Amino acid sequence: MEADILIIGSGPAGIQAAIHASRRKASTVVAGKPSASAAAGTEVDNYFGAGEISGDDLIAKGIAQAESTGAVFVRQNVVSAAKDGDRFRFVLDGGDEVVVKAVVIATGVSRDKLGVPGESELFGKGVSYCAVCDCNFYKGRRVVVVGNESEAAVAAEMMTGYASETSWVHWNLEANPVLVEKALAAGVRMYGSKPASIGGDGKVESLTLEDGTVIPTDGVFIELGARSSADIAMDLDVMPEMDDSIKVDSECSTGVPGVFACGDVTGKPWQVAKAVGQGCVAGTNAAIYVRGAR
Ligand SMILES: Cc1cc2nc3c(=O)[nH]c(=O)nc-3n(C[C@H](O)[C@H](O)[C@H](O)COP(=O)(O)OP(=O)(O)OC[C@H]3O[C@@H](n4cnc5c(N)ncnc54)[C@H](O)[C@@H]3O)c2cc1C
């Protein structure tokens, strides 16, 4: 699929960016799952003019507004991103490819934790939430990737290019079968049981599963849910901050031509009002970037 702009994220920031970009006649695709927005399932009571409104209502109405001016919502996550000359190429978890001239990163702040003993104690000592960021540290070592979705499949396949041994632990596999096949073909060893604990004395040494299996390992990559904003940013030559947020200027530009960001992903305050304000700026400037007119 080709378009002017891809907006990654269908929460308040991404939807507002889509409304402004599509009103400026830029062909706009929005990737991401609205149900995974931080606003989904919440009650928002401090948003200008709305009184008390459910986050789900806000999102549904916003999507309808954006669709009415031509934005297309694909409801799939981005699993990989790359710069290709003056274009950007993205692969979605359904396997589709999207090629655009500009991108708006509106992925919010989510880095799902596994919630098992050893995870927080060994974070940074073998536990990682970002395969793309940390793969280089695991050259010739053993790693386990944990997760059920396509992002875990992509991370596992990628780690085979670095690690001496790559295992993939899942317990409710929902990854795209094509990506699973690719991981298997690359030599990834699969385990089908939920992690129970991460073990190690000052550094990761093993992962124990609920079925009692103990996998000796040097690294545990927790890849739950959507690909993180940090991973996507780095694919696009944008260096995330230490806390994985993406720094933008007053135009919501990341400094890389054609790459904009808005909403929670740019840092606090994590609020709908700030997300839609920046969404307006990012969507408008992305449209100006591709269409060259104010
Ligand atoms: C319990 C709770 C209550 C809240 N109450 C309020 C309140 O009362 N008032 C208020 O102003 N704010 C409130 N917030 C905060 C508010 O929900 C957020 O500030 C707002 O949703 C941020 O919007 P966003 O678009 O930046 O990010 P999000 O809404 O989190 O949207 C991010 C989107 O990016 C998508 N995404 C992530 N990774 C990928 C990927 N790899 N590919 C494709 N898509 C991806 C996600 O699926 C999601 O659709 C609350 C939050 C919570 C959790």
In a domain, 122, yes or no: no
In this structure, are 82 and 175 located in the same domain?
A: no
CA of 161 from ligand 1 middle (Å) equals 33
Report pLDDT digits (tens) over 3-31: 999 999 999 999 999 999 999 999 999 99
pLDDT for the residue 213:
97
Residue nearest to atom 50 of ligand 1 (CA): 39
pTM: 0.77
Residue 37 resides in a domain:
yes
**Pocket flag, ligand 1, residue 272 (CB < 6 Å):** yes
Q: Tell me what pLDDT residue 111 has.
A: 58
Same domain, 215 and 72: no
Question: What letter does residue 133 receive in the DSSP assignment?
Answer: H
Answer yes or no: is the C-beta of 103 below 6 A from any ligand 1 atom. no
CB 79 within 8 Å of CB 174: no
Q: Are residues 20 and 52 in the same domain?
A: yes
| Predicted confidence (pLDDT) per residue in 46-96, tens digit | 999 988 899 999 999 999 999 999 999 999 999 889 999 999 999 998 889
Going by alpha carbons, the residue nearest to atom 12 of ligand 1 is 271
Q: Is there a single domain that holds both residue 44 and residue 134?
A: no
Q: Tens digit of pLDDT for each residue in 240-279?
A: 887 788 999 999 999 999 999 999 999 888 899 999 999 9
φ, ψ dihedrals at 284, nearest 5°: -65, -45
Helix (H) or strand (E) holding 282: helix 272-291
Which atom of ligand 1 is least distant from the CA of 108? Answer: 27
Shared domain check, 106 and 9: yes
What proportion of the chain, given as a percentage, has pLDDT over 90?
Answer: 77
Domain co-membership, 148 together with 65? no
Ligand 1 proximity of 245 Cβ (cutoff 6 Å)? no
CATH number for the domain including 158?
3.50.50.60
Percentage of the chain surpassing pLDDT 70? Answer: 97
Among 163, 196, 222, give the residue marking a domain's end: 222
Is residue 279 lining ligand 1, measured as CB closer than 6 Å?
no
Residue 68 lies in a domain: yes
- Amino acid letter, residue 87: R
Q: Tell me what the pLDDT averaged over the chain comes to.
A: 93
Asked if residue 115 is part of any domain, the answer here is no
Q: Is the CB of 226 under 6 A from ligand 1?
A: yes
Distance CA 235, CA 132 (A): 9
Per-residue 3-state assignment (H helix, E strand, C coil) for 158-200: HHCCCCCEEEEECCCCCCCHHHHHHHHHCCCEEECCCEEEEEC
**Domain contains 41:** yes
Per-residue pLDDT, 237:
93
Query: Given the CA of residue 32, which atom of ligand 1 is nearest to it?
Result: 44
Contact 265, 246 (CB under 8 A): yes
In a domain, 119, yes or no: no
Query: How many domains are contained in the chain?
Result: 2
Q: What's the confidence (pLDDT) of residue 134?
A: 79
pLDDT at 226 over 70: no
- Pair 59, 205 in one domain: no
146 and 101, same structural domain?
no
Mutate which of 46, 234, 264, 268 for ligand 1 pocket (most atoms within 8 A of beta carbon) = 264
Asked if residue 246 is part of any domain, the answer here is yes
Helix, strand or coil, per DSSP, at residue 260: strand
pLDDT band of residue 136 (cuts 50, 70, 90) is confident
Distance 123 CA to ligand 1 centre (A): 24
- One domain for residues 233 and 100: yes
pLDDT digits (tens, 9 = 90+) for 148-170: 988 899 999 999 999 999 999 99
Domain final residue, candidates 198, 222, 246: 222
Do 215 and 240 lie in a common domain? no
Confidence of residue 293 (pLDDT cuts 50, 70, 90): low
**Residue 12 included in any domain:** yes
Ligand 1 contacts CB of residue 273 (under 6 A): yes
Same-domain check for residues 132 and 272:
no
- The reply to whether 95 and 232 lie within a common domain is yes
Domain around 133: 127-222
Out of 201, 222, 243, pick the residue that ends a domain. 222
Question: Which atom of ligand 1 lies nearest, measured to the CA of 93?
Answer: 42
